[in-house]
Amino acid sequence: MTTAGNDQSGMSLIAVMIFMTAFAFVLMTAAPSIQMDIQREKELEAIRRGEEIANAIHHYVLHHQGTKLPQSLDDLLEGLPDGTKRRQILRPSSATDPLSPDGRWRLIAPSPDVIARFAKSVQLYNNGLLPSSPQPTRFYDRYTVVLANMLNTETAFDDEDLDDSEEDLTVSTNTPFIGVASQSTRRSVLTYYGIEKHSRWIFTPLFRGTGTTSIRPGVRSPPIPPRGR
């Protein structure tokens, strides 16, 4: 009886070991997929928050009639005067970058040289058409007109230039900025305008108008009106 009991216990132990081994194998196989799903959700949230910041910058520019840009995220978090109250244009949660280790967004300088990198990606993604910028055009055109000229003369950055350090994209607080980007330099699971690196996703109110401009060497075509008009 003792021998049979020992044999049964031994078989049970072997069965448990086999089960645990199989379970560990399943976990190891599923781990990359789970990590990718987690990363995808973080990227989706980063895009949602970045888009909200871009929209908040636009509302800020509209309120100031195209005369100024925000100088910090606090300018956006404080909201805009609305009678005796203030109108919220940015949620506190959106001021945090879910992809950066410290949660801080990089503030993007309003420099055509800097924005040209992102504009080139938007242009390629949009089959050679660069979306116009929204109203007030008198404010945004100071950037988009220069960008169109740069791209028309093929003076925008080549792909190799896009691998350079992103430090020149960033401005410090209390300096006007026209967009934000992540501090993360990781390759992305998702793409944003065809871009596969977090730090190159620039969230800006530029290139969000309803018209488009054809960007070809030496050619500048007029804006294409939106459909239905």
pLDDT tens over the chain, length 229 residues: 555 555 566 567 777 677 677 666 655 665 567 888 899 999 999 999 999 999 999 999 999 988 899 999 999 999 999 888 999 999 999 999 999 999 999 999 888 777 888 888 888 888 888 888 887 777 877 766 666 566 655 544 444 444 444 544 555 667 899 999 999 999 999 999 999 999 999 999 998 877 665 544 444 333 333 333 3
Q: What are phi and psi of 106, to 5 degrees?
A: -90, 135
Q: How many other C-beta atoms can be found within 10 angstroms of the C-beta atom of residue 2?
A: 6
* Closest C-alpha to 163, from 117, 132, 125: 117
pLDDT at position 220 is 38
170, part of any domain: yes
228, part of any domain: no
Q: How many other C-beta atoms can be found within 10 angstroms of the C-beta atom of residue 114?
A: 21
pLDDT at position 168 is 47
Output the CA torsion 167→169→175→179 (10° steps): -140
pLDDT at position 131 is 84
Separation between Cα atoms, residue 108 and residue 118, nearest integer Å:
11
Total number of domains in the chain: 1
172, part of any domain: yes
179, part of any domain: yes
- Counting Cα atoms < 13 Å in the Cβ hemisphere of 136 gives 13
229, part of any domain: no
Domain boundaries, position 216: 2-220
Tell me, what DSSP letter sits at residue 192? E
Residues contacting 74, CB < 8 A, separation 6+: none
Q: What is the pTM assigned to this prediction?
A: 0.74
Tell me, what DSSP letter sits at residue 82? E
Which amino acid, one-letter code, is at 199?
Answer: S
227, part of any domain: no
154: region left, alpha or beta (phi > 0 left; psi from -120 to 50 alpha): left
226, part of any domain: no
Q: How many other C-beta atoms can be found within 10 angstroms of the C-beta atom of residue 80?
A: 17
pLDDT at position 157 is 47
Encoding tokens for residue 28? 């190891």
Helix axes 112-125, 137-152, angle to 10 degrees: 70
pLDDT at position 2 is 53
